Structure 1
Amino acid sequence: MKKIVVLFFFVVLLIGHENFIFASYESQEVSEEEIQQHLQEIFDERIDVWNDFMVGKYSSLEAIRRDLEDYTTEPLLAIDISTYESIMNHPSSYEIIKEVNVMHCETIKANGTKGTYLVRIFWGIQSYDEFTYEEVEYIVEMLHIKNKWMLSDYQLNIEPL
């Protein structure tokens, strides 16, 4: 009888151990819908920083960097800071972005910590005298850093929509 009980517990332990191991290696891949939501949040924050900068709410590049670092990583962060610095040194009129909508997100290549996506974004832009809409397709690179997805880079997709 003791042998049967010991054998029973051994089988339960073995099954439990196997389930634990397989559960530990479940796919950590994130869905296109989740990336699209992350991108929407990131671009919403980026246009808030842009618009606040355009109306004079930022007094230093360091303040801009602190706000962008929550959603953006290198190399894009350095490019952004360089752009803001250039605008500060050579003021001109720029557009205010009234809206941004991530319309479509398609995985090109992804692993657990890095992903490349084809993303279509709809922009609503207010210039000095008119309001325009523009739909643009980008190749977007995302990195999973500090337990969240961050925008690493994005370039215009040279292929037609």
Structure 2
Amino acid sequence: MVDLLQNKTEKPKRILDLFRAIRKNLRDLIVKNNKQHNLTESKLLLVSELKLTPFITLHELSDRLSLSKGTVSGIVSELEDQGIVIREIPKDNRRIVKLSLSSDYADTMNIGLEFFDKLIENANPEDIDCIIKGLEKFCELFESNQK
């Protein structure tokens, strides 16, 4: 019974520790690959999300970054002043604002996708499939517990 209780407390802690390590490694990678831009970590994360998901709304971006809309709006305004982010209002729906990177800046942004390509290229395909399955299952657990 003691072993079972230890597993119940140790496994969630281990999962959280692994996610923290992954998050830190991703942030470090993004910051390292973009030192020349001299942006804060929050700005780099926002810019990297815009690189991956152009023409996203402020609401969608705040959800993806888990930041308040006010915080994201402030960062976007600063980046817009720097000529990095562009706000576009679609002609068919003037109530929404789509965000994207300026084309000049987007070309210089390195978010580390090459790193993932190399990481996967050198990994055992079965391990990669296992990681994907595990992460998908973890997402399903989160979604089912939010209902």
Aligning the two structures, in what range does the TM-score lie when normalised by the shorter sequence?
0.3 to 0.5
Question: What TM-score do the two structures reach when normalised by structure 1?
Answer: 0.31
Question: What TM-score do the two structures reach when normalised by structure 2?
Answer: 0.33
Structure with greater strand share of residues:
1
